[in-house]
Amino acid sequence: MVSEGEPAPDFSTTTDAGERVSLSDFRGRPVVLYFYPKDDTPGCTAQACGIRDAYAEFERAGAVVLGISPDDEAAHVKFKDKYDLPFTLLADPEHEVAERYGTWGEKQYRGRTYWGVSRTTFLVAADGTVAKVMHDVKPDTHADDVLAALASA
């Protein structure tokens, strides 16, 4: 798992618009990199819509918001269009980025074991270091929690 104070691992992946992007492309601005399990599920929708509803505050803070899940670009486009999400979603179908950040692993849900992404947010400072790691975030309060972390970073 990536820790606070460490350089954020750089990566390159595809956006919902089909463009290649790297974390280092955003150097000079704070980045909210949030890992979530799956598009258009109840918790992930609540989390994304919370960010959408507070997006003006993220912009005022100068932050770039990047949501990342194992879903592909086509799923991201549907999710983004359905809920009018104003921020970029990143495709990580091979979970390479999730593995680098330590968010991919064995999960339990309703008595079943499966492999997936843990709901974790990394606040990456403008200099590329990890300013804050938020584990097991609550979808309903995620946006407010991240905005509070941005304000104190």
Beta bridge partners of 34: 67, 121
Residue 114 has pLDDT above 80, yes or no: no
**In which band, very low, low, confident or very high, does the pLDDT at 141 lie, cut at 50, 70 and 90?**
very high
| DSSP structure string for 22-89 | EGGGGTTS-EEEEE-S-TTSHHHHHHHHHHHHTHHHHHHTT-EEEEEES--HHHHHHHHHHHT--SEE
Say whether 99 sits in a helix, a strand or coil. Answer: helix
The mean pLDDT value for 86-111 works out to: 92
Per-residue confidence (pLDDT) for residue 145, from 0 to 100:
95
The mean pLDDT value for 51-77 works out to: 96
Number of other CB atoms surrounding residue 26 within 10 Å: 18
Share of the chain above pLDDT 90, in %: 89
Share of the chain above pLDDT 70, in %: 100
The whole-angstrom distance between residue 28's C-alpha and the CA centroid of its chain comes to 18
Which residues are identified as catalytic?
44
| DSSP structure string for 47-64 | HHHHHHHTHHHHHHTT-E
Domains of the chain are 12-152 (3.40.30.10)
**In which band, very low, low, confident or very high, does the pLDDT at 1 lie, cut at 50, 70 and 90?**
confident
**In which band, very low, low, confident or very high, does the pLDDT at 12 lie, cut at 50, 70 and 90?**
very high
pLDDT digits (tens, 9 = 90+) for 130-139: 999 999 899 9
Ramachandran sector of residue 123 (left: φ over 0; alpha: ψ -120 to 50; beta: rest): beta
Q: Are 97 and 90 in contact (CB under 8 A)?
A: yes
pLDDT digits (tens, 9 = 90+) for 27-60: 999 999 999 999 999 999 999 999 999 999 999 9
Say whether 4 sits in a helix, a strand or coil. Answer: coil
